[in-house]
Amino acid sequence: MEMLAIPVHRSRQTKLKPHSLSRILVCIATYNEKTNIEKLISDIHIELPTADVLVIDDNSPDGTGELVDELSKKDSRIHIFHRPRKLGLGTAILEAMRFAIREKYHYLINMDADFSHSPRYLKNLIKGMKKNDIMIGSRYIVGGGTKNWPFTRKAISKSVNIFVRLFLKIPARDCSGGFRCYSVPKLEKAKIEEVKSLGYSFHQEVLHRCYCSGAKIGETPILFENRKQGKSKVNFHEAVRSLTALVILGIKSMGRKNIV
């Protein structure tokens, strides 16, 4: 299993405005999402007007980072980290988690940049945090689902989730989805700096660490929609690599009650 690469390049970070009462941070990792990012940020602020948005861009050739730079100059709720190259989803989300912990946010929401995670569900995630430490936008509970997915992708996704529920003992139906809201203090307690996974297995390992450190997990239904613009970055190789990482995690965690 590959070790998590920790990026050290943090150029051109925008400054934070004074702390607001809501203290919600929405994280979006981007690579070539120029066609989506401006509307997505706008739609997020329609649903959560006081939330800050942090874009972590991996030097997108299409100019995504430059566009967000311009947006951040006009709106103090928008922030961006520019990274020197494509470093992976896991490292991007970890960067956002560090930022949320450092700046003392209450909640961190992670979502995709391609509108597969609709902003219309954001309020439900926040509402669920009254009784939970993590809220998952779930495809696999009553009211949730996927739209226009091929059979192979459905099979891989459901197989991963069955494995995680049975092998890692996580009480959630959708453990692989990335549309989540985290309690930032719980992330800090879970020692997320020790996460080893790369790519899409990052989501499952973080969930496992949080659960083992005492976090209560809730789910709210979502319809996962195919991206509106651009090309999907999900592929069979990444799915196999992620499943392998989860098998190793499961073996290491057998018989272990907690990780803190």
- Would residue 126 count as lying in a domain? yes
**Model confidence band, residue 2 (pLDDT cutoffs 50, 70, 90):** very low
Query: Does residue 225 lie within any of the structural domains?
Result: yes
Tell me if 6 is assigned to some domain: no
- What whole-number distance in Å separates Cα of residue 179 and Cα of residue 112? 7
Q: Could you tell me if residue 224 is inside a domain? A: yes
pLDDT band for position 162 (50/70/90)?
confident
Residue 18 lies in a domain: no
Whether 34 and 114 have beta carbons less than 8 Å apart is answered as no
DSSP character at residue 120: G
Helix (H, G, I), strand (E, B) or coil at 224: strand
Q: Which residue has the higher pLDDT, 195 or 105?
A: 105
The whole-number average pLDDT for the span 103-111 is 97
According to DSSP, the β-strands at 52-57 and 78-82 are parallel
pLDDT, greater one: 117 or 247: 117
Is residue 16 within 8 Å of residue 102, measured between CB atoms? Answer: no
Which segment of 34-43, 151-160, 225-234, 246-255 scores lowest on mean pLDDT? Answer: 225-234
Could you give the CA distance from residue 96 to residue 105 in angstroms, rounded to a whole number?
Answer: 11
Q: What percent of the chain has pLDDT over 70?
A: 78
In this structure, what CATH number is given to the domain that contains residue 222?
A: 3.90.550.10
22-30 average pLDDT score: 93
Structure tokens at 204: 């499952």
Query: At 155, is the pLDDT very low, low, confident or very high (cuts 50, 70, 90)?
Result: confident
Whether residue 136 contacts residue 176, with contact meaning beta carbons closer than 8 Å, is answered with no
Residue 213 is predicted with a pLDDT of 93
Does 2 map to a domain?
no
| Domain annotation covers residue 16 | no
Q: What is the pLDDT of residue 248?
A: 64
Q: Sign of the CA dihedral 126, 129, 133, 134?
A: negative
CA distance to 50, 139, 247, 249, 257, per residue, from 168 (Å): 36, 19, 9, 8, 11
Domain count, the chain: 1
Question: Which residues are within 8 A (CB) of 24 and not within 5 positions of it... i.e. 6 or more apart?
Answer: 48, 50, 51, 52, 105, 106, 107, 109, 126
From CA 164, how far away is CA 86, in angstroms rounded? Answer: 28
Note down the domain range covering 165: 24-253
**Does residue 10 register a pLDDT over 90?**
no
CB atoms within 10 A of CB 108: 24
Q: Is residue 244 part of a domain?
A: yes
Residue 16: closest CA among 46, 44, 54, 59: 54
Q: Tell me: the pLDDT tens digits for 45-90? A: 999 999 999 999 999 999 999 999 999 999 999 999 999 999 988 9
pLDDT beyond 80 at 242: no
More confident residue, 55 or 17: 55
For 212, other C-beta atoms within 10 Å of its C-beta total 18
